[in-house]
Amino acid sequence: MDGLPKVELHLHLEGAAPPAFIAGLAKEKHLDIAGVFDERGNYRYKDFWDFLKVYEAATSALQSPRDYQRLVLAVLEESAKSGVVYCETFVSPDFCGGRDVGAWKEYLHAMQEAADEAERDLGVTLRGIITCIRHFGPEKARETARCAAETAGSWIVGFGIAGDEKIGVPKDFRWSFDCAREAGLRLTAHAGEWGGPESVRDAVHDLGVERIGHGVRAIEDLALVDELAETGIVLEVCPGSNVTLGIYKTFRDHPIAELDRRGVKVTISTDDPPFFHTTMAREYDELHKAFDWDEGQFRRIARQSLDAAFCDADTKARIGKLLEA
């Protein structure tokens, strides 16, 4: 399945940083973040909550627009190796200039330059979704939403929320989502990974999102599954992430195939690939092994993913041709 053209909608930019890249930056800056890595140089964490801490510690090595420019190139090189032709990545003004609009614009400019270069040289198109971070609280989310509203356009195409799903409730963030929507941004929210089906329902009803990050625990409430299918809400499913973090024991236990059979629009992503020891190519291989999904199934899901992408129609038409290859 390596050669199949792929569309990825759920990728945290810092979480996609190769550990050697972060280690190299830390060395250049004489930062001691050794605790982030294990003896083999992989990221080390105990569980999801520890992962969030390690994520932020690793991110502390990224300190300038230039660092983010290099990061985007490093990440897209990996995407290209897996056959990804279109990718949407979560970017956070929290980590890029501390939610200051002027600083954020400089970071964004640097990332876009790298994305242009990668589109030319690697054939991967990238767009950004600004995410607020749930455990940083609603007040900081409002500042993030202002950054998003100021930079909404053809490259920043969406707004979302990541972080610790167990803190607060979606409606705490309603102001931020309304602000982003009014600026023309499309909306997604992490839910139904650590929270149950009610967290998916709340994100859909209280924030008005059209996509859900993960959302897989909707399977525990079949009335909700039917609602998602009928309303066409799209799930950004990250099976390898869920298996690595222990939400499901194996790929065969993962509900992606059942959700798909029940008519929910599922897509396939990696979340934070080096943290979860995965790549888009590996997700495809594991799904093929677990559910005997064939090329036709993967092509249908890639097309479904592109339909759910937040980019403009011209970009979709161009990528659509690549998916037919």
Q: Which residues are catalytic?
A: 193
Q: Find the Cα–Cα–Cα–Cα dihedral 22, 24, 29, 33, rounded to 10°.
A: 50
Q: How far is the CB of 241 from ligand HPA (least distance, A)?
A: 6
- Of all residues in this chain, which one has the CB nearest to ligand HPA in the complex? 162
Starting at the earlier edge strand, list the strands of the sheet with 265-268: 6-12, 84-91, 125-133, 156-162, 186-191, 211-214, 234-237, 265-268
Task: Please list every residue from 262 through 321 that binds ligand HPA, using CB under 6 A.
Answer: 271-272
Rounded Cα distance, 248 and 259, in Å: 15
CB 162 within 8 A of CB 189: no
Encoded amino acid at 174, one letter: R
State which residue, 164 or 227, has the beta carbon closest to ligand HPA. Answer: 164
Q: What is the chain's percent helix, strand, coil content, to nearest 5?
A: 55, 15, 30
207 — phi, psi (to 5°)? -110, -15
Task: Please list every residue from 47 through 86 that binds ligand HPA, using CB under 6 A.
Answer: 55
From the list Zn ion, ligand HPA, none, pick the one residue 163 interacts with, judged by a Cβ distance below 5 to 8 Å according to partner type: ligand HPA
State which residue, 26 or 162, has the beta carbon closest to ligand HPA. Answer: 162
From the CA atom positions of the chain, what is the Rg in Å?
18
State which residue, 191 or 224, has the beta carbon closest to ligand HPA. Answer: 191
CA 286 to chain centre: 19
Rounded Cα distance, 241 and 243, in Å: 6
State which residue, 11 or 281, has the beta carbon closest to ligand HPA. Answer: 11
Among 91, 162, 247, 308, binds ligand HPA (CB under 6 A): 162
Which strand (E) or helix (H) includes residue 313? helix 313-323
Q: Does 170 sit near ligand HPA (CB under 6 A)?
A: no
Task: Give the DSSP letter of residue 69.
Answer: H
State which residue, 152 or 216, has the beta carbon closest to Zn ion. Answer: 216
12 — phi, psi (to 5°)? -80, 125
Q: How far is the CB of 246 from Zn ion (least distance, A)?
A: 16
Among 78, 271, 283, 286, binds Zn ion (CB under 5 A): 271
Tell me the per-residue interface mask from 171 to 200 with ligand HPA, x by CB under 6 A, - otherwise. -------------------x----------
Q: Kindly state the tokens that stand for 281.
A: 């190519």
Task: Give the DSSP letter of residue 2.
Answer: T
Q: How far is the CB of 238 from ligand HPA (least distance, A)?
A: 7
Task: Give the DSSP letter of residue 181.
Answer: H
Q: How far is the CB of 119 from ligand HPA (least distance, A)?
A: 24
Q: Which residues bind Zn ion (CB under 5 A)?
A: 271
Q: Which residues bind ligand HPA (CB under 6 A)?
A: 12, 15, 55, 162-163, 190, 271-272
